[in-house]
Structure 1
């Protein structure tokens, strides 16, 4: 057997275009998760330099087939959007030999991310409290689940839309006419991925002091409830259940979508000064001194009549030009853009939030660090693309790798 080496020789995490290692360079992450929340967390860590090894089951991450659209190699856009900067291998964790490989990977790992059904890791002999904490005391084990392990809903499977429904998010989204409406992106999965990322980084910071890892418990349910601001806070104080108000804000007026002559626009006016500027630009300064609209509480009490007045004025206005003028004056306003408009917008391109390289096309990295910026160095891995390479880097010789392949314990992409 080859001597164990601490890292693999290929790409081990993002390095920026100047060659500066990312902020998490040197961090090793084993990503056993699938679909969205866990992979999004792992991708965020990889974007900033962590070495992330994505371990898939023999059937693969199901999002590989969540299309169309598919790229020219048959991978679904859904999968491609949350697995960049990772290396990929395939292991059958239902086999003893497969679980031994994972334990080998964890010997020098910093973080383990998984989103298996509650109890699966324990059944495999990989539970944190039963096995991993004692065997790998510095390991940070992050579990992403629907509802956590205990409580009335403990162990129940979690799905974004179901979490939106059960957390109350759907009840406050939509209009009185539409009824409860799912938010148009998997907001709970994505936010839980970010919560998991924060949890991992907090545990890493604490490990710097204690030298000991810990278990990070991120759930869709908890995260969704944390997103209920200001509706939950309003209910705690007033006792009044929130009502669906479409695009309007329950606490601020005017804070809503309005039609104009050229486009729909959104006004986000948060104080009286902004309201006065807006009225002046609209050519109706008298609205700001009307006793019905002078203060936000007045505008809330008279929101219906104010909306009717604003709609009448805005119907004759070039919305794009008005938004540009309002933004320049410090009044929050913007046109309602389509996805293609956003992804080709000059500011999107300037901020490098739409990226096209020889190997990657997609969104960019939202966090910009001045000294150690993240970077996109590799596309989402093909099925089993790095299986052989990772095994060899972790002490398996060529004969052992072949035996694992022959036994179906691992799967590797065909060699070119």
Structure 2
């Protein structure tokens, strides 16, 4: 069965997380991804760890399936020619170099679209974007989380700034990049013209502050940490139980009333302090105190059973062992097995979008450094002798 993006050729000059996450998603939908890596060590994330599995970074393995690896010295004229030839025959070129770096090599957008491939979709992911006073600054997820306001919003009230537990700016930038590439590709199918697509870690983080920016635009009030609580609706947060915590999502009036009946407190429904959402938000501290007193009377599992039976949205807070072995995750086949060239069977998280007619593509496991050098170069017309010379000149390299 064909995959949705079969035939889409992508040259990937990104490393670490945002770009590789983007291209893995494209590869999961069937695109052909050629990952260009530095000849000396490859993608920096190959050295992120521990943990390592027989010398291979677990982090690298999670975001680089469905890609072929070419370990290429782009600074060598022969290496630059190889990359140029690959771009010439590609649909998409994606890079996360600091703005201006590739222009010095003749691989900026204007050079590529005017001299190499007029139909190319050229995507750039950077810390701060390709314009503005911060365009030349290096960008990392932690920096973007801080500057986007996210760390000022995360954590318990009056606490220290807290980084979100996952690299949300990197991952979100990768998702936005994939969305932009596909939108540009649809446009190109109509016009036969390529275009420049860019996103940044800073903007990708800021774009998630929908409530907090909305509050500021409306009132100039600066939002701060609120723990697990919602800024605009109550009760919608975690509550302590007899043996842990439970998340309650009684975010609208019907669910609030169901909750009151489920905990045997129907009188809360008509109590003036909790009559509607605005009243509950104005009296949130008192409401949380009363609800915690109720939830601490039973275990999390007991409350989940009671509340689900009553139609109240709720759920436990799971750790990674619990979620990765959860019955719902197993049924959805969210954990998948891959056969790695060196390691044998490894596990990954599957692509979280399911299509009725086109299944997720699991064509390739995460590659070894330079694993596909010969295959890629032969497709470009290089002979065995020429490939051997490129190896001896360190234009291409390969892991042992």
Range class of TM-score, shorter chain: over 0.9
3-state DSSP class of the match of 2:273?
Answer: coil
Equivalent residues of 1:287, 1:293 under 8 A apart: yes
| 2:10 corresponding residue in structure 1 | 29
1:313 Cα offset (Å) = 0.6
- Aligned counterpart, 2:138: 157
Greater RCO between the two (CA within 8 Å, min separation 6)?
1
Aligned to 1:388: 374
Please state whether the residue corresponding to 1:375 is helix, strand or coil: coil
Q: Structure 1: how far apart are the matches of 2:154 and 2:394?
A: 47
How much does 1:281 deviate?
1.1
What is the deviation of 1:373?
1.9
| 3-state SS, counterpart of residue 94 of structure 2 | strand
- Whether the 8 Å CA contact 1:34–1:61 is kept in 2: the answer is yes
- Residue number in structure 2 paired with 1:202: 183
SS in 2 for 1:309: helix
- Does the CA-based 8 Å contact 1:260-1:314 persist in structure 2? yes
2:262–2:310 CA contact under 8 A, matched in 1: no
Task: After superposition, give the CA deviation of every residue in 1:103-135 in whole Å (9 maximum; x if it has no partner).
Answer: 111222100111011111111111111344442
Aligned to 2:296: 315
Aligned-partner Cα distance in 1 for 2:389–2:209: 52
Query: CA 1:113 to 1:131, structure 2 compared with 1: closer, same or farther past 3 Å?
Result: closer
2:342 aligned residue:
none
1:3 corresponds to: none
Could you give the per-residue CA deviations for residues 216-265 of structure 1, whole angstroms, max 9, x where no partner exists? 11111111111111100111011111121111111111111111113211
Question: Structure 1 residue aligned with 2:101, among 92, 96, 120?
Answer: 120
Rounded Cα–Cα distance in structure 1 between residues aligned with 2:307 and 2:338: 35
Give me the TM-score of the superposition, normalised by structure 2.
0.96
Aligned to 2:253: 272
Taking the aligned partners of 1:220 and 1:341, their CA distance within structure 2 comes to: 31
Alpha-carbon distance in structure 2 between the residues aligned to 1:410 and 1:354: 34
| Corresponding residue number in structure 2 for 1:397 | 383
- Number of aligned residue pairs: give it: 394
Q: Please tell me whether the aligned partners of residues 84 and 116 of structure 2 are also in contact (alpha carbons under 8 angstroms).
A: no
Match of 1:92 among 52, 70, 73: 73
The alpha carbon displacement at 1:102 in A equals 0.6
**Counterparts of 2:205 and 2:310, CA distance in 1:** 35
SS at match of 2:360: coil
Matched ranges for 1:141-290 at <5 A: 141-290=122-271
In structure 2, runs of 5+ residues without a counterpart are 340-344
How is 1:101-112 mapped onto 2 (pairs within 5 angstroms)?
A: 101-112=82-93
Q: CA deviation at 1:150?
A: 1.7
DSSP 3-state at the match of 1:141: strand
- 2:50 aligned to 68, 76, 81, which one? 68
1:314-345 CA distances to partner (integer Å, 9 max, x unpaired)?
Answer: 00122223224434544221101001100000
RMSD (Å), alpha carbons? 1.3
Shift of 1:48: 0.6
CA offset at residue 89 of structure 1?
A: 1.2
| Contact 2:3 2:360 (C-alpha < 8 Å) held by counterparts | yes
- Unaligned residue ranges in structure 1 (runs of 5+): 1-19
Q: More deviation in 297-306 or 348-357?
A: 348-357
Equivalent pair of 1:387/1:413 in contact (CA under 8 Å): no
Conserved 8 A contact 1:388-1:412? no
The 8 Å contact of residues 98 and 126 in structure 2, kept in 1 or not, is answered as: yes
